[in-house]
Amino acid sequence: MQTNDKQNNSTQKDLIVEFFTKHPNRDIKHPEIVDWVSTTYKERTGKVFRDPDREIRKLAQSGFLVKIAKGIYKYDPEKASKRDLEDFTPAQKEKILTRDDYK
């Protein structure tokens, strides 16, 4: 019963991670990912998965997924990393704003 409780509390990000970890080192096209996570999320929670594209992009930007080409992603356990991005310093922000004419 605990498994069902855990599955019912799955976040959208957790589902995408689950999908990719079950299919390591395989180039996967976007529609396959979206179809699986949308269907599975609906089955587990009874809710509609909103904007899976955003979560997929976030995982690619964080280094968890490798973007192979437009709409094709891969999870490589050897390369997956978690990057902590830092904010720009005030000096860096000023330099960028000045360079871009404050636009």
What is the value of pTM for the model shown? 0.66
- Domain with residue 52: its CATH number is 1.10.10
- Residue-range definition of the domain harbouring residue 94: 2-99
Residue 72 is predicted with a pLDDT of: 94
Contact status, residue 57 vs residue 98, Cβ threshold 8 Å = no
74 vs 21: CA distance, rounded Å: 10
Residue 6 is predicted with a pLDDT of: 44
Contact status, residue 65 vs residue 20, Cβ threshold 8 Å = yes
The total of structural domains in the chain comes to: 1
Could you list the mean pLDDT of each consecutive 10-residue stretch along the chain, which spans 103 residues? 45 91 94 94 90 91 91 89 67 89 86
